[in-house]
Structure 1
């Protein structure tokens, strides 16, 4: 997995958190930078930790599935990407939230964890690839921090519609990364050398 793929993966993983952050920002009365940074930090830390947990689980099983590793990564990314894309397309335009002055810590943790389940599944897939999980986890965490911080600040202006489109784009990017992983593996098999 090259640097561009890691960066794309990081931003794809952060789009569902961005979508949630846009919703959180639109649910607040005049969100401030301090609230946006706090939300970004909470989401970023959680999003960085979950692929490590998934990677550890996948790594423990890697000896049993080495022959199928590329197919597992491909399938996981396609399913997760498809789920994100369908979720974005099915979201209701009439969802409304009451507007608090500030979101509670545990609510943000719960939301951050809910949006990071896919990162854990991606971590499982990464256990079968030759990739530094620390680099990927840090990149995902930083991308999520950036996307969530910005998402909170633009949430009031753009509402949940932008969040839906960001989630759809993230789903398409995940499916594309899965296709690239499979292509790289299959082309390495077919290229003499």
Structure 2
């Protein structure tokens, strides 16, 4: 597998993380450097760890989990997206009480957007690809793409305010639905 193939795979895997980053930032949850770092770092880390996990666990276990992995991702994204939607429709002006770039919400989002990367790790094992370079590239590309999406999302949030929280929630729910239907 050459470098171009690995970059294309990395960009494809980074799209869900980018969409979540865009939504979170536009809803006002990446207002400081620490939140930006947490989002980009965790998405890159989990996106790198999942193919590694898939690679080492092997085909038999992953084929079992893969049968319902899309439902797990759907449920996680529906939960977080639903919370953002409810918060965005709250007329009191309050936003989510918990920053999605912190704690278990960050872990849940990171897992949800990186489950498909586990299957990529299995395919790498079947093709006997040396795993360390692809894992590094996937993690770095996802972090960079997430960071870029956050920068764009912040601008949208500045322009459109609290209504972007509704958009962010819809994006998360939409990604979950797309995962189930794919």
Task: State the TM-score, normalized to the length of structure 1.
Answer: 0.60
Q: 1:67-92 CA distances to partner (integer Å, 9 max, x unpaired)?
A: xxxxxxxxx9xxx9xxxxxxxxxxxx
> Within 2, Cα distance between the matches of 1:148 and 1:9?
15
Candidates 131, 136, 141, aligned match of 1:138:
136
Give the superposition deviation at 1:112: 0.6
Find the counterpart in structure 1 of residue 25 from structure 2: 25
- Provide closer, same or farther for how the CA distance between residues 30 and 121 of structure 1 changes in structure 2, counting only shifts above 3 A: closer
> Within 1, Cα distance between the matches of 2:122 and 2:36?
30
- Provide closer, same or farther for how the CA distance between residues 2 and 150 of structure 1 changes in structure 2, counting only shifts above 3 A: same
Give the superposition deviation at 1:114: 0.5
Task: State the TM-score, normalized to the length of structure 2.
Answer: 0.63
> Within 2, Cα distance between the matches of 1:97 and 1:16?
22
- Provide closer, same or farther for how the CA distance between residues 55 and 30 of structure 1 changes in structure 2, counting only shifts above 3 A: closer
RMSD: 3.6
Q: Are the counterparts in 2 of residues 22 and 155 from structure 1 also a CA contact under 8 Å? A: yes
Structure 1 stretches of 4+ with a deviation exceeding 2 A read: 57-61, 95-105, 156-161
Q: Are the counterparts in 2 of residues 31 and 153 from structure 1 also a CA contact under 8 Å? A: no
> Within 2, Cα distance between the matches of 1:122 and 1:149?
23
Give the superposition deviation at 1:60: 7.3
Find the counterpart in structure 2 of residue 107 from structure 1: 105
Give the superposition deviation at 1:135: 0.8
Give the superposition deviation at 1:125: 1.2
Number of residue equivalences: 143
> Within 2, Cα distance between the matches of 1:51 and 1:30?
27
> Within 1, Cα distance between the matches of 2:146 and 2:50?
16
> Within 2, Cα distance between the matches of 1:56 and 1:106?
25
> Within 2, Cα distance between the matches of 1:152 and 1:109?
18
Unpaired segments of 5 or more residues in structure 1? 62-75, 81-94, 172-193
Q: Are the counterparts in 1 of residues 30 and 36 from structure 2 also a CA contact under 8 Å? A: no
